[in-house]
Structure 1
C-alpha cells in the first residue's frame, strides 16, 4: 500500500490568471511542427541510431511533411556533427525544410555548433538552460541574476559568430528548460534577456520554446502558464511561441492541445511519443486528433503503417498494438457489442457523408489502413462481428435469428481453441454447419430433382444418393418447391422463414437460399442453407440442410 504522500509531495501549483481566455477558445488550425525524433527521441534509445538509420528516418520525416526537423546535438556527438555536415554539404535538406541543432550555453559548444551548420541556407540554433529553483540551487549553484547574465553573454556570442556567415539565415530558439516548474516571473525575465540580446525583430526571427521538461501539473495549469507568458512576452509579433511537452503524467497530448488554445503556435515532439522517461508528446496522435476535428494537420499520414515500420526499424522500439491511430489492433474490435455497432455503422455510412461509424473516430482508409482487421472474432465476440465478416468476405447476409444461432456455434469453437478465429476459419465453420451437413448427418446427397404440376400446387420428385451409390426416390407435394421438398422428406417440419439471395452479380452468380425450420418436441428452430447456380436447387438444398441438422439434434442422447 502506498504511504501517505501529503508530507512528501507538493500540491499542484496554480497560476494567478483569473481572466484566462483559453478555456473558451477552439482549435482552428494546426501548429508549426518540429520533429525531435533525431535528437530527443534518439538520446532516449537503448542503442542510439547509427548514421544509416538516422538518415533513413530523416527522409521519412521529410516525406511526412515536417518543415522543421531537429537533427541532433552536433557539439556533443561526432556522429551528429558528421550527419549535419553531410546533409548540408550534399544538399540533402529540401528548400522548404529548416534543420535545427541544439546546444548548451558554453562558449566552446556554441562555437562548434555554429561550425556544424555554417553554410546552410537557413537553420535554427536551439539554446537551453534550466531555470527552476531545484536546478538553480542544486545543479548549478546560481541565482537568477547570474542566469540572466549567462544567457545574455552566450546569445551575444552567438550573434557575433553568425555575423561572419551572412549566407545563412540564422534563427535563434531559446528554451528556459524546466519552465513548468519555475516561477513565471523568472522565466519571463530570462526569455526577455534572450530576446533583447538577440534583438528579435522583423529581420531577426526568434522562437521562444516553453517545455514541460517534467510534467508536474495538470494540463490546465500548463495552459495557464502559456497564456500568462503569451500576454507578457516583449516583441510578441516577432516571436514564435513554441511548446515542448513531455509525458510524465501521461497528459502530454492534452498539454499540447491546451497550450495551443493558450497561444502556442508551434509544437515540438516525436512521431510516436518516444523520448526520455515517459516520452515526448506524440505528434501522430496530436496531429490526427486535429484531423478528426476537421482540421488539416499539415502532415501526411496517409500510409501510417509504412511510417510506423520505418520508425520501429530505425529506433528498435515497438509501437504498442493499441497505440492511438497507429497500433495494429487500434481499429480492431473483439467485443460483440462493438462489432455489432461497427457493422451497422458501415451499413449506414454513405460514401460522401460525414464520417459517423460507431467506435471508429477516423476512417481507417484515410491512414492507408484496410477494413480487413476491424472486426476479429474470439470468445468475447458476438453475432454482429461474425455476421459482418461473413457479409464482407463471402457475401452471406444472415437473418438476425440465424446470426444468434451461428454466433453460438462460433463461440463454442473459439472457446475450445482459446484463440482468435480468422475470417477464413469462420467461413469453414459456416460451411461445416450449413453447406455440407447432408452427407455427414444423413448419409445421402441430392442426386437430382424434378418438379411437376399438382392439384395441391407443386409436386417434386427427389433422387437421393447414399454413400454406397444407391439411389432412393421420394416424392411430395405442397404449395411450392420448399413445401413439397419438406413433404417428400416425411418429417413434420414447420417452415418459419425462407429467404433467397444472390451471391454476387451477373449471369453466373450463385443463388443462396436460407430456410428456418422447427420440429415439434425439439426446442427452438434450426437454419439450413443451400447454394447453387439454380435457385430451385438452392432452396431444396437448404431444406435438406435444415432437415439433416434437425435429425442430428433428434439423434442425440
Structure 2
C-alpha cells in the first residue's frame, strides 16, 4: 500500500513574497478556496506579524477554510507567535509555523547567536506556541548548509518541546538531490523521538533543482512536501506543486507515494494564480505550460494519433485540461455557459455569474467564437475584488505620426461624482495614464507594463497587466478589452484602486492603534 505524503502549499506566503506577486485580500481568498478544492493538506496563509494587512488576511482565510489546515508563519519571537495566535483563532485546523536559522553562516552573521542560544530560543518559541496551538511546525532555516548533527540536536529538542512537524528547508537552493536525500535519511535515523513528528522539506529553485530535491527527499522518507503553485517564490522560486504531485502520480511505480491532491484541479489553479499575480507561466513549463501537451513535429503527431502514450506520459485531462471543448458564441445560452465555468473549475456566485454572462454576450457579439481563455479573463475581471474608488466612464485618444498624443479621460468616483481631465503624452497610453493621475491626485511610478492577446486572431481580446509603485510599495492591475488602449486604461485604474484601497485600510488600522494607545 502506498504511503501518503502531505502537501503543504505556501503560495499565499512564500509565493506572494516574490517581487510582483502581491495579492489583495479578495484575490487571496479566491486562491485559498481553490487550494482547498485542490486538496492541499496545509495552506500557509501568510506571515501575521509582517503587517496589519497580512494578519487580517490570515485571519479571514482561517475563518473560511474547513477542509485543510491553515498555517501562519512566525519568527521565534513571542510577539510573532501572539500575532499568529490572533490570526488563527477561528481556524478549524490551525498550525503555528516557527522558523529559526541553524547554519553557521546565518547564526554568526544574521542572528549573532551561538548554537546553544539557537537551541534555547527554538525550544522556548515552540513551547510558547504549544500553549495556544496543538499543531506546531519548526523550520530550521538554511538546514541544507547546517551541520547534520546539530540539526538533529535542534530537532530532537523542539520535538520534546511539542513540535509536531520539523522542516528541513533548502533555503537558498544549494543542495544536490543525492546529497539532500542523504541528509533526510540521516535526520530520520539520528533525531531523537523522530517518530513523534512529521518530517518536512521546503526546497528553493536557485539551481533549478527544487522539484528534484523534493522528490529525492520524498523517496528518502520525507512525509510533508512544501511547495507553491507554478513554483512562484523568492528569487528563482520554490518547488512547483504541480510538478511534484504529477511526478509522484506518473511515477507511482517508482516512488510508491500518493497525495490527496485532486489533479484535475491543477490547471485551473495554475491559471488563477497566474491571473491574480500577473506572473505568466512560461509556454514550456512542465504540466501547466501552453506547450505541455502540444505536438508539432510530424513524427510526434503521428505517434500520438496512433497511441497517445507514445509521447504523452500523462493525459491533459488528468491535470484538468479538457481534450474536447464545446464552442461558445453569441447564440449560446446561460446554461451552457454555466456548465463551461464548472468544467473549467470555477464556482461563481450568482451576482458575479450574472455580470460575467452579460460581459460574455457583449464579447460574443464582437467575436465569432469565445474561447476558454476569453471566459477565464472575463471571470477574473469580474472577481477582481478591491472596491472601485474610480470607475472608467469614457475615454478618447488622439494620436498619430504628425500630432502629439492627447487623451481625455472621464472617471466616476465611488461617491457618484464625475471627473474629467485632458493630458498629452509620448503616446496614447502615456497620455491616458497622465490624465488618470490628474484626476486621482496620485503620481505612482509605472514599474512594468505588459500587453498581450488572450487568444489568436484579429478579434482577440487584449490583456494588459501593469505594476505601479509608491513609497516602496507595489500594486498590480489588470484590464481586458478588444481595444488595447481601453485594456491599458482599465489595468491602470485597477492598480490605482488597489493602491487607494490598501492605503486607506492602512490609515484606518493606524488610526485604531493610535486611539487604543491614548487609553494606555
Secondary structure at the residue paired with 2:50?
Answer: coil
Aligned to 2:200: 242
Distance 2:227 2:21 in 1: 20
Secondary structure at the residue paired with 2:211?
Answer: helix
| Per-residue CA distance 1:115-153 (angstroms, 9 max, x = gap) | 222243331101101111111111122211111121122
Q: Does 1:287 align with 2:245?
A: yes
CA contact (8 A) 2:130 2:136 kept: no
Would you identify which runs of 4 or more consecutive aligned residues in structure 1 move more than 6 Å? Answer: none
Secondary structure at the residue paired with 1:125?
Answer: strand
Distance 2:123 2:265 in 1: 45
Which of 356, 363, 366 aligns to 2:315? It is 363
Aligned to 1:176: 140
Deviation (angstroms), 1:37: 0.5
TM-score relative to the length of structure 2: 0.59
Which of 168, 180, 185 aligns to 1:227? It is 185
Secondary structure at the residue paired with 2:134?
Answer: strand
Q: How many residues align?
A: 321
Aligned to 2:489: none
CA contact (8 A) 1:33 1:68 kept: yes
Deviation (angstroms), 1:175: 0.7
Which of 39, 42, 62 aligns to 2:36? It is 62
Q: Does 1:148 align with 2:119?
A: yes
Pairing of 1:72-91 with structure 2 (within 5 A): 72-88=46-62, 91=63
Distance 1:68 1:207 in 2: 12
Distance 2:124 2:29 in 1: 34
Describe the shift of the 1:107–1:370 C-alpha distance in structure 2 as closer, same or farther (beyond 3 A). Answer: closer
Moved more, 148-157 or 294-303: 294-303
Distance 1:30 1:292 in 2: 15
Higher share in helix: 2
Secondary structure at the residue paired with 1:148?
Answer: helix
Deviation (angstroms), 1:296: 4.8
Distance 2:19 2:26 in 1: 16
Which of 181, 185, 190 aligns to 2:154? It is 190
Pairing of 1:256-405 with structure 2 (within 5 A): 256-294=214-252, 296-346=258-308, 357-371=309-323
CA contact (8 A) 1:122 1:170 kept: no
Deviation (angstroms), 1:187: 1.0
Secondary structure at the residue paired with 1:170?
Answer: coil
Unaligned runs of 5+ in 2: 326-520
TM-score relative to the length of structure 1: 0.55
Which of 24, 44, 49 aligns to 2:23? It is 49
Deviation (angstroms), 1:97: 1.3
RMSD: 2.0
CA contact (8 A) 2:65 2:91 kept: no
Secondary structure at the residue paired with 2:259?
Answer: coil
Secondary structure at the residue paired with 1:120?
Answer: coil
Distance 1:315 1:307 in 2: 12
Distance 1:50 1:258 in 2: 35
Distance 2:114 2:151 in 1: 13
Secondary structure at the residue paired with 1:147?
Answer: helix
Distance 2:158 2:219 in 1: 25
CA contact (8 A) 2:33 2:65 kept: no
Deviation (angstroms), 1:111: 1.9
Distance 1:369 1:291 in 2: 17
Secondary structure at the residue paired with 2:64?
Answer: coil
Which structure ranks higher in relative contact order (CA pairs < 8 Å, sequence separation ≥ 6)?
2
CA contact (8 A) 1:176 1:211 kept: yes
Secondary structure at the residue paired with 1:314?
Answer: helix
Q: Does 1:122 align with 2:80?
A: no
Aligned to 1:212: 170
Secondary structure at the residue paired with 1:115?
Answer: helix
Deviation (angstroms), 1:30: 4.2
Secondary structure at the residue paired with 2:17?
Answer: helix
Distance 2:268 2:186 in 1: 41
Deviation (angstroms), 1:54: 0.5
Describe the shift of the 1:365–1:113 C-alpha distance in structure 2 as closer, same or farther (beyond 3 A). Answer: closer
Distance 2:121 2:258 in 1: 41
CA contact (8 A) 1:303 1:369 kept: no
Aligned to 1:93: 65
Secondary structure at the residue paired with 1:157?
Answer: helix
